[in-house]
Amino acid sequence: MYRGDAARTGVAGASRPPEEFLPWGALCPGPVLAAPAVASGMVVVVDAFGLLTARNAISGVLHWRYAPEPRTPPRTVVTAAPVIHQGTVHFVSPEGGGRLLSLDLESGDVRWSRYTGVATAAPAAAGGLVFACAEGPRVCALSVEDGSEVWATELGGYRSDERDLIVEVLRGGGQPVFFGSSPAVCRDGVYLVGPDGALYALAATDGSVRWKRELNFSVRTSCAVDQDRVYASDPTGVLHVLDAHDGRTLWTRDTGVGAGDVVPVVSEGQVYVAGRAVSAGTPQLTSGAILAYDAATGAHKWSRPTGSWVATPPAAGEGRVYLATRGSVLDAAELCALAATDGRVLWRRPVDHRSGHPTDVRWDGVRAAPTVHDGVLYLGLPDRTLRALDAATGIASFRFLRRRALRRARPVGMRRNRFTAGIRPALRVLLLVALCVAVGGALGATSWWLAVSAGAAPLLMAAAQGASRGLFMLGVRAQQRGAYRSAALAFALTHAAQLLTPPGLRSATHRVRTLGNLTVSVGQSGAFGLWKSLAAAHRYAASALARRSPGQETGLLRAQSYAMTAQGFTVFHESGRIDGTREAASYAARAVDLYRTVDAFSGRHRGEAEQANRLYLALAVPD
């Protein structure tokens, strides 16, 4: 169900995935701008052109695909999420100007179709009825079985500003946003924002209007209902909490972020609001924030800024909040998990917010809300991918071979058999042997077995670390041109001596530390271009290790990698080589955040954590 349930509370499922789940990724026909729907072991996602895809939720194997006829023009964008109810998939298709379709979940066969004229609002399903917005404007309730209309209610007309906008868009040949509020169904009530900006409460049985509150909401605003309370945010950033029975205001809070189109999330006694905060001095620089309030009293619990603004509602449950930022020209998009108690970061990973189209930016930005079901997080991206991640750790996998296997309908994401599990390590060993031979020849080895033995001996790990640093510093003292050659040889020597070590956490952390030491040595030489590449490789290696083996030790390595990068940018900035103040401040802030995540300020690494914090304060608050 879109937003967790028909009440749109955004509640997520279990925090641990099934034992047989392995993270997977799959290609969709087009950019994904709507949240996936998960139920009965199936995940269903619709792309921007109205093509619906159903896959196995655990393995990612393709089951069926539905394409509208005729193919929708590219200017028509689908942002309404599908809904699964009683073994059927209900979604709004752009074909014919907007139709509500009901498909069988197992086979993908169309059960019934009904014209609505609205392609921007997700339907809701509960109690054998499908509630959808239709032209008029009106709200109608249809039977799940055959699509027959049970009741329909006319709503107020459009506001003057919205009417002028629709006329202007139609003249330009674009797609107008007609009535984009998605209904929220709780018990025997249906709640939604009408085209006049008022919040309506209808009876689910006959569609009669119980109450109406004119609070000047956006026509694209949706609300959430929980514990006889209705939660909705207006474009000015004010969170309204109303009584579900009579519509009276229980409490309001000025959140300070524009969250008019983002649905509040209610879970475990707290309400979460995420949105957009635009800088008054520089309008093109945008950021966002997420705030948590007590659902009963409105007391502020915590707040956390985000690097990029938020355009999708988060998901919450099991003591966690999952949030995806949209991304912009200046900032990358991120997917993160926060602790519901204090908002601290549990894990964070970047996601691709580019569509790949060189000129059309309509598809750029993460606009599909994350969906969490049975410990698996599903996220659709504008680069035409659907990701399935481990919600507990944020571990993801998206490789070309896995993508190719999905296209050929092979089981992917399940446990590997013993035959495959034995072949892959053998091929990896052969590849590493060949690599060691090549490295040995470059270093002047007389025979290939000397190179292999040097690369495979774990006892030479410490010696390789010292030798690589000494080799590079020797080249620095000799001449600048020799520094680059010595760096390449040192890098090859270090990794050739460690790639064949036993695949354990200890050897992996040693490799990351070795790469970090080499990065520091390159920075001391003054070779900025080479240092920048090695620093990026060091951060990537530390982040990959932290994702594979989450824990305090790997988290500390990741914090150290960002702190070293911040210090390097500071050194090069002070030497007059570059203008690295902004980069140093950004990496220092990330390092301090990671140090706090692993509680380094109270442990034996307190000194380096405080040093990173002092660097951040010096850069963020200059004298």
Domain holding 120: CATH number? 2.130.10.10
Which is more confidently placed, 412 or 231?
231
How confident is the model over 201-222, as pLDDT tens digits? 999 999 999 999 988 787 778 8
301-309 — which CB contacts under 8 Å span 24+ positions? 301/270, 301/343, 302/342, 302/343, 303/343, 304/338, 304/343, 305/277, 306/274, 306/334, 307/331, 307/332, 307/334, 308/332, 308/333, 308/334, 309/275, 309/276, 309/277, 309/278
Q: Region 6-18: what's the mean pLDDT?
A: 63
Which is more confidently placed, 516 or 100?
100
Domain annotation covers residue 228: yes
Domain annotation covers residue 234: yes
How does strand 149-154 pair with strand 189-193? Answer: unpaired
Q: Region 137-161: what's the mean pLDDT?
A: 83
Q: Region 519-529: what's the mean pLDDT?
A: 73
For tokens 């240092």, the residue is 531
- Amino acid letter, residue 313: P
> What SS3 class is residue 476?
helix
* The pLDDT value given to residue 411: 36
Q: Is the pLDDT of residue 299 over 90?
A: yes
* The pLDDT value given to residue 457: 42
Domain annotation covers residue 137: yes
Q: At 502, is the pLDDT very low, low, confident or very high (cuts 50, 70, 90)?
A: very low
Q: Region 551-571: what's the mean pLDDT?
A: 87
CA-closest candidate to residue 152, choices 95, 202, 105: 202
Mean pLDDT of the chain: 76
Q: At 86, is the pLDDT very low, low, confident or very high (cuts 50, 70, 90)?
A: confident
Domain annotation covers residue 465: no
* The pLDDT value given to residue 258: 73
Tally of domains within the chain:
1
Q: Is the pLDDT of residue 132 over 70?
A: yes
Which is more confidently placed, 87 or 260?
87
* Cα four-point dihedral sign 118, 122, 124, 130: positive
Which is more confidently placed, 85 or 395?
85
How confident is the model over 454-465, as pLDDT tens digits? 444 444 455 555
Q: Is the pLDDT of residue 475 over 90?
A: no
Q: Region 81-101: what's the mean pLDDT?
A: 86
DSSP state of 82: P
Q: Is the pLDDT of residue 8 over 80?
A: no
Residues 192 and 361: their CA atoms lie apart, in Å, by 30
Residues 390 and 373: their CA atoms lie apart, in Å, by 10
SS3 content of the chain, % helix, strand, coil (to 5): 30, 25, 40
* The pLDDT value given to residue 300: 92
**CB burial string 460-470: b at 16+ within 10 A, e below:** bbeebbebbbe
pTM of this structure? 0.64
Residues 553 and 509: their CA atoms lie apart, in Å, by 9
Which is more confidently placed, 176 or 49?
49
Domain annotation covers residue 215: yes
Q: Which of 75-89, 279-293, 596-610 has the lowest mean pLDDT?
A: 279-293
Domain annotation covers residue 564: no
Q: Which residues have C-beta within 8 Å of that of residue 161, sequence separation ≥ 6? A: none
* The pLDDT value given to residue 111: 93
Domain annotation covers residue 64: yes
Rounded to 5 degrees, what are φ and ψ at 578?
-140, 170
Most confidently modeled range among 13-27, 518-532, 558-572:
558-572
Residues 77, 81, 83, 88, Cα dihedral to 10°: 40
* The pLDDT value given to residue 406: 38
Q: At 67, is the pLDDT very low, low, confident or very high (cuts 50, 70, 90)?
A: confident
Domain of residue 102: give its range: 24-407
Q: Which residues have C-beta within 8 Å of that of residue 79, sequence separation ≥ 6? A: 33, 34, 48, 120, 180, 367
* The pLDDT value given to residue 442: 56
* The pLDDT value given to residue 171: 40
Q: Is the pLDDT of residue 483 over 70?
A: no
* The pLDDT value given to residue 351: 86
* The pLDDT value given to residue 441: 55
Residues in the chain: 623
How confident is the model over 227-286, as pLDDT tens digits? 889 999 888 888 999 999 999 999 999 887 875 567 889 988 999 998 887 544 444 446
Cα distances (angstroms) measured from residue 538 to each of 68, 276, 361, 515: 47, 32, 32, 6
The per-residue DSSP string of 365-432 comes to S--SPPEEETTEEEEE-TTSEEEEEETTT------HHHHHHHHTT---SSPPPHHHHHHHHHHHHHHH
Which is more confidently placed, 6 or 231?
231
Which is more confidently placed, 410 or 531?
531
DSSP state of 75: T
Q: Is the pLDDT of residue 405 over 70?
A: no
Q: At 589, is the pLDDT very low, low, confident or very high (cuts 50, 70, 90)?
A: confident
Q: Region 541-559: what's the mean pLDDT?
A: 81
CA-closest candidate to residue 93, choices 80, 104, 83: 80
Q: Is the pLDDT of residue 524 over 90?
A: no
Residues 297 and 292: their CA atoms lie apart, in Å, by 12
Domain annotation covers residue 474: no
Q: Where are the beta strands (DSSP E) in 135-193?
A: 138-143, 149-154, 184-186, 189-193
Q: Region 577-600: what's the mean pLDDT?
A: 82
Q: Region 384-408: what's the mean pLDDT?
A: 64
Q: At 400, is the pLDDT very low, low, confident or very high (cuts 50, 70, 90)?
A: very low
Tokens of 378: 């599903």
* The pLDDT value given to residue 412: 34
Q: In this structure, are residues 60 and 413 in contact, taking their beta carbons and an 8 Å threshold? A: yes
Q: At 5, is the pLDDT very low, low, confident or very high (cuts 50, 70, 90)?
A: low
- % of the chain exceeding 90 in pLDDT: 19
Q: At 182, is the pLDDT very low, low, confident or very high (cuts 50, 70, 90)?
A: confident
Q: Which residues have C-beta within 8 Å of that of residue 563, sequence separation ≥ 6? A: 587, 588, 591, 595, 608, 611, 612, 615
How confident is the model over 326-342, as pLDDT tens digits? 887 667 788 999 999 99
Q: Which residues have C-beta within 8 Å of that of residue 302, sequence separation ≥ 6? A: 291, 292, 342, 343
* The pLDDT value given to residue 25: 85
Which is more confidently placed, 341 or 76?
341
Most confidently modeled range among 134-138, 492-496, 611-615:
611-615
